[in-house]
Structure 1
């Protein structure tokens, strides 16, 4: 997958899970500050990422994912996204 395809897939997940308009999602969107995601919301998002991209995300790695761009970069570096 290209970086753009990964971004679009993650943006779709975020829009669905957090109930926001897909067209408003940008790379610098911050899960905690912009979406008011609590720890349970974020864990559910990480589980969705793992399922969507066939990867396991450690708790330590998940703690470093704060924005959409960071989620995209993580997936690009760690998932089997061919």
Structure 2
């Protein structure tokens, strides 16, 4: 999975939870400030991203995500680590 596919999937997950159209979700968008998400929505996004990409990331780490790009970076770094460990 390349960076574009990861970014697109993450934006789709965010859109499904928030009803914000995918094309209105910017890469650098802050979940709290720009997208106005509450902690429950953030948790749901984190859990859905973790499940969709089969990451196995601790919940505490998911709660630290602040932007769309943070989430993309997390997925890519875990996927790279999984590939090395495979």
Q: TM-score, normalised by structure 2?
A: 0.84
Runs of 4 or more above 2 Å deviation? none
Determine whether 1:76 maps to 2:82: no
Contact 2:7 2:72 in 1 (8 A): yes
Determine whether 1:59 maps to 2:38: no
The number of residues matched between the two structures is: 81
The residue aligned with 1:36 is 36
TM-aligned CA deviation for residue 61 of structure 1: 1.7
Q: TM-score, normalised by structure 1?
A: 0.88
Distance 2:25 2:58 in 1: 25
> Unpaired segments of 5 or more residues in structure 2?
none
Distance 1:67 1:73 in 2: 10
The residue aligned with 1:22 is 22
Contact 2:46 2:63 in 1 (8 A): no
> Unpaired segments of 5 or more residues in structure 1?
none
Contact 1:46 1:57 in 2 (8 A): no
Determine whether 1:7 maps to 2:7: yes
What RMSD over aligned residues (CA atoms) do the two structures have, in Å?
1.5
